[in-house]
Amino acid sequence: MSSNADSLANSVWTRPPRSRGGQPALSRGQIVRAAIELLDEKGLDGLSMRRLGSRLAAGATSAYWHVATKDELLELALDEVMGEIEVPEAGAADWRTAAAALAHGLRAMILRHPWVTGLFGVRPAVGPNAMRMSDRVVGVLTAAGFSGMQVAYASSLLMSHAIGSATTEAAWRRSIAPSGKTADEVVDEMRPYIDELASRYPNYGAWWRENNAINVDAMQDDNFAFGVERLLDGLQSWLDRDAGDRHDAGRP
């Protein structure tokens, strides 16, 4: 819930972790780490406060002293994994490779922790690690020559692509995971069904008849890389084209 009016100003991030004197058998960091383990193993639905308690060899509700609510715990977990993403500092590499590194890093993190896809749409990611990442990106893009709102727009474009793409990918992986088969095996088994679909959707059908020999896993990587390159091309050409009159741009 936490529906405080000043939602951002008094969220988890402004409140220091509680722990002082006694013998804190539990700490906030420890709880968050255990929660991430559970989430990685069993997904978003697999995390319950009771389960978390027993994994920590603690009572079912002990975590509630360190963390106000389960949502808040998820927010902390999200920011924690956000910290795994590395973005080069502004001057360390040319901006295209730095931006590409951000996109690929963000995607890789999401695929490592697929449960974050269920969190991105709920509360904005504004924890310290997310902020650190934003800061780096702003630095890189400013150094590249973007200015004003275009800095924000370009950074949002990069992250949106990574989030959207990896979300779709995660959904696909999750749907084949319980079968225990590889992606290619699953596609092979689905061929009759896909053929039937292709017969009902003309454009898709025509495409499928010429492109049904695919290596699914390699395709996912290529797909993402292709998107990143096109997107960087688009940003690059914007940079080249309007090098002079960028002041009132943004509303074409």
Binding site for DNA (CB under 7 A): 1, 18-26, 47-51, 53, 58-62, 64-66, 69-71
Non-local CB neighbours of 13 within 8 Å, separated by 6+ positions: 126, 127, 128
Indicate the residue among 66 and 113 with the shorter CB distance to a second copy: 113
CA distance 50 to 56: 10
Indicate the residue among 1 and 9 with the shorter CB distance to DNA: 1
Neighbours of 235 (CB within 10 A): 22
Indicate the residue among 27 and 147 with the shorter CB distance to a second copy: 147
**φ/ψ (deg, to 5) at 23:** -115, 90
Is residue 16 close enough to count as binding a second copy by CB under 8 A?
no
Is residue 83 close enough to count as binding a second copy by CB under 8 A?
no
From 19-27, 31-39, 59-67, 112-120, give the range in contact with a second copy by CB under 8 A.
Answer: 112-120
| Residue that the structure tokens 């993403």 belong to | 85
Nearest approach, Cβ of residue 185 and a second copy (Å): 10
Taking each helix axis from N to C end, the angle separating 149-176 and 95-112, rounded to the nearest 10 degrees, works out to: 30
- Binds 122: which of a second copy, DNA, none (CB < 5-8 Å by kind): a second copy
Dihedral (CA of 124, 79, 151, 97) sign: negative
Is residue 123 close enough to count as binding a second copy by CB under 8 A?
yes
